[in-house]
Protein backbone atom coordinates (compact mmCIF):
# COMPACT_ATOMS: atom_id res chain seq x y z
CA UNK A 1 0.00 0.00 0.00
CA UNK A 2 2.75 2.36 0.97
CA UNK A 3 4.65 1.68 -2.22
CA UNK A 4 1.55 2.36 -4.36
CA UNK A 5 1.20 5.75 -2.68
CA UNK A 6 4.86 6.41 -3.30
CA UNK A 7 4.47 5.51 -6.97
CA UNK A 8 1.43 7.79 -7.31
CA UNK A 9 3.29 10.61 -5.63
CA UNK A 10 6.28 10.03 -7.88
CA UNK A 11 4.13 10.06 -11.04
CA UNK A 12 2.42 13.25 -9.90
CA UNK A 13 5.70 15.01 -9.29
CA UNK A 14 7.04 13.78 -12.61
CA UNK A 15 4.03 15.03 -14.57
CA UNK A 16 4.30 18.42 -12.86
CA UNK A 17 7.95 18.62 -13.84
CA UNK A 18 7.05 17.81 -17.45
CA UNK A 19 4.19 20.28 -17.52
CA UNK A 20 6.50 22.97 -16.17
CA UNK A 21 9.27 22.12 -18.63
CA UNK A 22 7.00 22.24 -21.69
CA UNK A 23 5.48 25.47 -20.43
CA UNK A 24 8.93 26.99 -20.20
CA UNK A 25 9.76 25.82 -23.69
CA UNK A 26 6.73 27.40 -25.34
CA UNK A 27 7.34 30.61 -23.45
CA UNK A 28 10.77 30.85 -25.07
CA UNK A 29 9.47 30.29 -28.56
CA UNK A 30 8.12 33.18 -30.60
CA UNK A 31 4.97 32.50 -32.60
CA UNK A 32 5.35 33.94 -36.09
CA UNK A 33 2.55 34.16 -38.63
CA UNK A 34 2.75 34.25 -42.38
CA UNK A 35 0.83 33.95 -45.61
CA UNK A 36 0.24 30.43 -46.96
CA UNK A 37 0.45 30.96 -50.72
CA UNK A 38 2.70 33.82 -51.74
CA UNK A 39 5.54 32.31 -53.75
CA UNK A 40 8.45 32.84 -53.77
CA UNK A 41 8.14 34.30 -50.25
CA UNK A 42 6.13 31.53 -48.59
CA UNK A 43 4.52 28.52 -50.23
CA UNK A 44 3.87 24.89 -49.46
CA UNK A 45 6.36 22.40 -50.82
CA UNK A 46 4.63 19.06 -51.29
CA UNK A 47 7.83 17.02 -51.39
CA UNK A 48 9.20 18.56 -48.22
CA UNK A 49 5.71 18.78 -46.71
CA UNK A 50 6.70 22.18 -45.35
CA UNK A 51 6.44 25.89 -46.12
CA UNK A 52 9.47 27.19 -47.97
CA UNK A 53 10.42 30.50 -49.57
CA UNK A 54 12.47 33.68 -49.23
CA UNK A 55 10.71 34.78 -46.02
CA UNK A 56 10.95 31.32 -44.47
CA UNK A 57 14.67 31.11 -45.23
CA UNK A 58 15.47 34.67 -44.15
CA UNK A 59 13.68 34.16 -40.83
CA UNK A 60 15.40 30.81 -40.25
CA UNK A 61 18.82 32.33 -40.99
CA UNK A 62 18.18 35.33 -38.72
CA UNK A 63 16.87 33.15 -35.88
CA UNK A 64 19.96 30.98 -36.12
CA UNK A 65 22.23 34.03 -36.18
CA UNK A 66 20.48 35.64 -33.20
CA UNK A 67 19.77 32.44 -31.28
CA UNK A 68 16.01 32.62 -30.88
CA UNK A 69 13.42 29.92 -31.41
CA UNK A 70 10.09 30.27 -33.14
CA UNK A 71 7.09 28.40 -34.36
CA UNK A 72 5.64 29.21 -37.80
CA UNK A 73 1.94 29.55 -38.55
CA UNK A 74 1.18 29.92 -42.26
CA UNK A 75 -2.48 30.87 -42.22
CA UNK A 76 -2.92 33.58 -44.85
CA UNK A 77 -2.07 37.28 -45.07
CA UNK A 78 -5.15 38.94 -43.58
CA UNK A 79 -5.32 36.19 -40.93
CA UNK A 80 -1.68 36.87 -40.02
CA UNK A 81 -2.32 40.60 -39.53
CA UNK A 82 -5.37 39.81 -37.40
CA UNK A 83 -3.47 37.26 -35.30
CA UNK A 84 -0.60 39.67 -34.60
CA UNK A 85 -2.99 42.50 -33.70
CA UNK A 86 -4.97 40.12 -31.43
CA UNK A 87 -1.77 39.03 -29.68
CA UNK A 88 -2.07 35.41 -30.81
CA UNK A 89 1.24 35.79 -32.59
CA UNK A 90 4.40 37.71 -31.69
CA UNK A 91 5.24 38.79 -35.23
CA UNK A 92 4.66 38.22 -38.93
CA UNK A 93 6.78 37.84 -42.05
CA UNK A 94 4.59 37.65 -45.15
CA UNK A 95 5.92 39.77 -47.97
CA UNK A 96 4.37 42.58 -45.96
CA UNK A 97 4.77 46.07 -47.35
CA UNK A 98 5.95 48.76 -44.94
CA UNK A 99 3.81 51.91 -45.11
CA UNK A 100 2.69 54.80 -42.89
CA UNK A 101 -0.86 53.52 -42.49
CA UNK A 102 0.37 50.20 -41.11
CA UNK A 103 2.92 51.94 -38.89
CA UNK A 104 -0.06 53.18 -36.83
CA UNK A 105 -0.66 49.59 -35.63
CA UNK A 106 2.59 47.69 -36.41
CA UNK A 107 6.28 48.13 -35.72
CA UNK A 108 8.48 47.16 -38.66
CA UNK A 109 12.02 45.93 -39.11
CA UNK A 110 14.31 47.44 -41.72
CA UNK A 111 13.11 46.62 -45.24
CA UNK A 112 14.50 43.37 -46.64
CA UNK A 113 13.04 43.31 -50.19
CA UNK A 114 11.70 45.89 -52.68
CA UNK A 115 8.44 45.30 -54.48
CA UNK A 116 5.24 47.02 -55.62
CA UNK A 117 1.78 46.35 -57.07
CA UNK A 118 1.02 45.84 -60.73
CA UNK A 119 -2.16 45.44 -62.77
CA UNK A 120 -2.76 41.83 -63.85
CA UNK A 121 -5.21 40.55 -66.48
CA UNK A 122 -6.05 37.41 -68.45
CA UNK A 123 -3.52 36.65 -71.18
CA UNK A 124 -5.95 37.56 -73.99
CA UNK A 125 -7.36 40.67 -72.26
CA UNK A 126 -7.64 43.97 -74.18
CA UNK A 127 -7.20 46.02 -70.98
CA UNK A 128 -4.32 48.45 -71.48
CA UNK A 129 -4.61 50.65 -68.39
CA UNK A 130 -6.64 51.38 -65.27
CA UNK A 131 -9.05 53.51 -67.35
CA UNK A 132 -10.17 50.34 -69.17
CA UNK A 133 -11.53 48.93 -65.89
CA UNK A 134 -14.62 51.20 -66.15
CA UNK A 135 -17.84 49.33 -65.35
CA UNK A 136 -15.93 46.09 -64.69
CA UNK A 137 -15.30 43.88 -61.68
CA UNK A 138 -11.79 43.36 -60.38
CA UNK A 139 -10.55 40.74 -57.87
CA UNK A 140 -8.66 41.78 -54.73
CA UNK A 141 -6.89 40.00 -51.86
CA UNK A 142 -8.10 41.08 -48.42
CA UNK A 143 -5.86 43.34 -46.38
CA UNK A 144 -3.17 43.98 -48.98
CA UNK A 145 -1.69 47.26 -50.16
CA UNK A 146 -2.80 46.30 -53.69
CA UNK A 147 -6.36 46.24 -52.42
CA UNK A 148 -5.98 49.58 -50.65
CA UNK A 149 -4.65 50.95 -53.92
CA UNK A 150 -7.55 49.49 -55.92
CA UNK A 151 -10.04 50.97 -53.42
CA UNK A 152 -8.39 54.38 -53.75
CA UNK A 153 -8.93 54.51 -57.55
CA UNK A 154 -12.20 52.59 -57.87
CA UNK A 155 -14.49 55.65 -57.92
CA UNK A 156 -12.25 57.56 -60.27
CA UNK A 157 -12.27 54.71 -62.81
CA UNK A 158 -15.71 53.32 -61.99
CA UNK A 159 -15.04 49.64 -61.26
CA UNK A 160 -16.27 47.30 -58.52
CA UNK A 161 -14.22 44.98 -56.30
CA UNK A 162 -14.71 41.35 -55.34
CA UNK A 163 -12.65 40.21 -52.33
CA UNK A 164 -10.65 37.01 -51.82
CA UNK A 165 -8.66 35.56 -48.94
CA UNK A 166 -5.62 34.36 -50.88
CA UNK A 167 -3.61 35.06 -54.04
CA UNK A 168 -4.53 31.75 -55.79
CA UNK A 169 -8.29 32.42 -55.46
CA UNK A 170 -7.80 35.97 -56.71
CA UNK A 171 -5.86 34.73 -59.78
CA UNK A 172 -8.51 32.08 -60.45
CA UNK A 173 -11.26 34.71 -60.53
CA UNK A 174 -9.37 36.54 -63.29
CA UNK A 175 -8.51 33.35 -65.19
CA UNK A 176 -12.11 32.11 -65.23
CA UNK A 177 -13.47 35.54 -66.16
CA UNK A 178 -15.39 36.37 -62.97
CA UNK A 179 -13.15 39.43 -62.71
CA UNK A 180 -11.28 41.25 -65.48
CA UNK A 181 -8.16 42.07 -63.49
CA UNK A 182 -6.45 42.16 -60.12
CA UNK A 183 -3.49 43.98 -58.56
CA UNK A 184 -0.66 41.86 -57.17
CA UNK A 185 2.93 42.30 -56.02
CA UNK A 186 5.11 42.32 -59.12
CA UNK A 187 7.64 39.71 -58.01
CA UNK A 188 4.89 37.35 -56.85
CA UNK A 189 2.80 37.45 -60.01
CA UNK A 190 6.03 37.25 -62.00
CA UNK A 191 6.92 34.03 -60.18
CA UNK A 192 3.43 32.59 -60.67
CA UNK A 193 3.48 33.28 -64.42
CA UNK A 194 7.01 31.93 -64.85
CA UNK A 195 7.12 29.01 -62.44
CA UNK A 196 3.53 27.98 -61.78
CA UNK A 197 2.29 28.41 -65.35
CA UNK A 198 -0.46 30.81 -64.20
CA UNK A 199 -2.21 32.08 -67.35
CA UNK A 200 -2.12 35.80 -66.59
CA UNK A 201 -0.10 38.81 -67.76
CA UNK A 202 1.03 42.08 -66.22
CA UNK A 203 -0.09 45.43 -67.68
CA UNK A 204 1.87 48.69 -67.35
CA UNK A 205 4.26 49.52 -64.54
CA UNK A 206 4.58 48.96 -60.80
CA UNK A 207 2.35 51.47 -59.01
CA UNK A 208 3.49 51.74 -55.41
CA UNK A 209 7.06 50.57 -54.90
CA UNK A 210 7.98 49.92 -51.26
CA UNK A 211 9.89 47.54 -48.98
CA UNK A 212 8.80 44.36 -47.28
CA UNK A 213 9.37 44.22 -43.54
CA UNK A 214 9.06 41.91 -40.56
CA UNK A 215 6.35 43.23 -38.21
CA UNK A 216 5.13 43.07 -34.62
CA UNK A 217 2.11 44.69 -33.02
CA UNK A 218 2.95 48.35 -32.32
CA UNK A 219 4.73 48.76 -29.00
CA UNK A 220 5.24 44.99 -28.61
CA UNK A 221 8.32 42.76 -28.85
CA UNK A 222 10.83 45.50 -29.53
CA UNK A 223 13.56 42.94 -28.77
CA UNK A 224 12.35 40.78 -31.64
CA UNK A 225 12.50 43.66 -34.15
CA UNK A 226 15.97 44.48 -32.85
CA UNK A 227 17.15 40.87 -33.28
CA UNK A 228 15.64 40.75 -36.77
CA UNK A 229 17.50 43.93 -37.77
CA UNK A 230 20.80 42.74 -36.31
CA UNK A 231 20.41 39.31 -37.88
CA UNK A 232 19.46 40.84 -41.24
CA UNK A 233 22.61 43.00 -41.20
CA UNK A 234 24.69 39.92 -40.33
CA UNK A 235 23.24 37.67 -43.06
CA UNK A 236 23.68 40.49 -45.57
CA UNK A 237 27.31 40.80 -44.50
CA UNK A 238 28.10 37.08 -44.54
CA UNK A 239 26.49 36.34 -47.91
CA UNK A 240 23.62 34.23 -46.60
CA UNK A 241 21.00 36.80 -47.64
CA UNK A 242 22.25 36.84 -51.24
CA UNK A 243 22.41 33.06 -51.26
CA UNK A 244 18.71 32.89 -50.28
CA UNK A 245 17.63 35.40 -52.95
CA UNK A 246 19.67 33.54 -55.54
CA UNK A 247 18.02 30.25 -54.60
CA UNK A 248 14.66 31.77 -55.58
CA UNK A 249 15.92 33.41 -58.75
CA UNK A 250 16.85 36.92 -57.55
CA UNK A 251 20.10 38.84 -57.12
N1 LIG B 1 2.96 43.15 -50.12
C2 LIG B 1 1.53 43.12 -50.03
C3 LIG B 1 1.06 43.77 -48.76
O4 LIG B 1 1.78 43.95 -47.85
C5 LIG B 1 0.94 41.72 -50.17
C6 LIG B 1 1.33 40.78 -49.07
C7 LIG B 1 0.70 39.40 -49.21
O8 LIG B 1 -0.28 39.24 -49.95
N9 LIG B 1 1.24 38.45 -48.51
O10 LIG B 1 -0.07 44.10 -48.64
Statement: the pTM of the whole predicted model exceeds 0.85: yes
Q: Tell me the best of 43, 53, 77 to mutate to test the pocket of ligand 1, counting ligand atoms within 8 Å of each CB and taking the most.
A: 77
Q: What structural domains and CATH numbers belong to the chain?
A: 28-102+218-247 (3.40.190.10), 114-211 (3.40.190.10)
Q: Tell me the best of 93, 112, 146 to mutate to test the pocket of ligand 1, counting ligand atoms within 8 Å of each CB and taking the most.
A: 146
What is the average pLDDT value for the chain, to the nearest integer?
93
pLDDT in tens, 96-118: 999 999 999 999 999 999 999 99
| 94 close to ligand 1 (CB < 6 Angstrom) | yes
Task: Report yes or no: 59 and 93 within 8 Å, Cβ to Cβ.
Answer: yes
The dihedral built from the CA positions of residue 29, 31, 37 and 41, taken in this order, carries a sign that is negative
Ligand 1: nearest atom to the Cα of 42 = 9
Q: Average pLDDT of 46-55?
A: 97
Q: What is the pLDDT of residue 14?
A: 53
Q: Is the pLDDT confidence value at 55 over 50?
A: yes
- What are the CA-CA distances from residue 84 to residues 33, 153, 230, 235 (Å)? 8, 29, 22, 25
| 144 close to ligand 1 (CB < 6 Angstrom) | yes
- Residue positions counted in the chain: 251
Q: What is the pLDDT of residue 28?
A: 84
Task: Report yes or no: 95 and 35 within 8 Å, Cβ to Cβ.
Answer: yes
Q: Average pLDDT of 6-34?
A: 64
Amino acid sequence: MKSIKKIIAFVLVLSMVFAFASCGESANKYVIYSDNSFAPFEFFDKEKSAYIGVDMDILAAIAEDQGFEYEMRNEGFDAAMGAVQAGQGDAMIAGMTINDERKKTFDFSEGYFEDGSILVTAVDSAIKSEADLKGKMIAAKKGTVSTTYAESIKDKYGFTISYFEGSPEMYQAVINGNAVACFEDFSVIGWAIKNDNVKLKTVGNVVNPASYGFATKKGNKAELIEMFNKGLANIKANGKYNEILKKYGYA
